[in-house]
Amino acid sequence: MKTILKVQNLCKSFEDTQVLNNINFEVEEGEFIAIMGQSGSGKSTLLYSISGMDRPTSGNVLLCGKDISKLDDEKTSEVRLKQMGFIFQHSYLLKNLSIRDNIVLPGFKLGKLSREQVNQNADTLMVKTGIDSVAEHDIKKVSGGQLQRAAICRALINQPDILFGDEPTGALNSSTSREVLDIINAVNTEGTTVIIVTHDVKVAARAGTVIFLMDGNIHDKLTLGKHDGDEEKTLFREKRLYEWLEEKAF
Ligand SMILES: Nc1ncnc2c1ncn2[C@@H]1O[C@H](COP(=O)(O)OP(=O)(O)O)[C@@H](O)[C@H]1O
Ligand SMILES: [Mg+2]
């Protein structure tokens, strides 16, 4: 297995408040990592610091062996556009564009493929995620679940090495959340590395490894192993994770 992301002695402070305190971990290609912890423990800050959305105060973030923590803003945007996809609690799609136009935008921006090829890739993604029927719809005319699927398609349009998510199911009801999770699982099974922040046990139980943050430190890690989608095993994983979290008074 190849290491895709290596985080070394990462610290992050805002003015004189230290939020992340010497974080070290490695992610192998194709892994699914969930980051959990109390509100305010530094989960989002960690995700942003390892994905170029924010700059660490000190330490290194190696993506495929290259330190991305010291790149200038332009190079950082390029790495993010080429190698990373992002999903958040809200989809942040552009209001005056259709679902399709939102999805293809990062593909056009990267400019690696022709517009036709980008459109074809968008079609494939929309079929996979079940939103092809609303491709030309205004984003105000589709459901929250469809918006989040579109956000996933947009995140995947440039075939990123890593898909990052910050509470990607946080605004969805449980059945929609499950559908979105199944999509994230499928993306991971096809080889994309996934790193998501979540407070939801059902989400984290899909991950191979769960990292528990406490006061800006990695307090503990739980290895669940690859999830194969089996219903019974899912329940067992959730139970195991509940027990592990209970010990932490989560
Ligand atoms: N831009 C910022 N400026 C100042 N403090 C921040 C900023 N972002 C986060 N923090 C602080 O860092 C701590 C961790 O925040 P965050 O990473 O959002 O936690 P979590 O995602 O685990 O809820 C909190 O105390 C928060 O107030
Ligand atoms: Mg957060």
Cα 39 to ligand 1 centre (Å): 9
Cα 44 to ligand 1 centre (Å): 7
Whether 41 lines ligand 1, by a CB cut-off of 6 Å, is: yes
Cα 135 to ligand 2 centre (Å): 30
Q: According to the model, what pLDDT value does residue 1 have?
A: 82
Q: According to the model, what pLDDT value does residue 230 have?
A: 84
Listed as ranges, residues in the chain with pLDDT below 70 are: none
Ligand with an atom nearest the CA of residue 55: 1
Alpha carbons 32 and 129: distance in angstroms, whole number = 19
Instruction: Report how many domains make up the chain.
Output: 1
Helix orientation angle between 99-110 and 115-128, rounded to the nearest 10 degrees: 130
Please give the number of the atom of ligand 1 that sits closest to the Cα of 54: 1
Whether 40 lines ligand 1, by a CB cut-off of 6 Å, is: yes
Please give the number of the atom of ligand 1 that sits closest to the Cα of 48: 17
58: domain CATH number is: 3.40.50.300
Q: Report whether 62 contacts 68 (CB < 8 A).
A: yes
Q: According to the model, what pLDDT value does residue 231 have?
A: 84
**Tens digit of each residue's pLDDT (9 = 90 or more) over 75-128:** 999 999 999 999 999 999 999 999 999 999 999 999 999 999 999 999 999 999
For ligand 1, atom 1, name the residue with the nearest CA: 14
Whether 45 lines ligand 1, by a CB cut-off of 6 Å, is: yes
Domain, as residue range, for 167: 3-247
Cα 197 to ligand 2 centre (Å): 7
Whether 223 lines ligand 1, by a CB cut-off of 6 Å, is: no
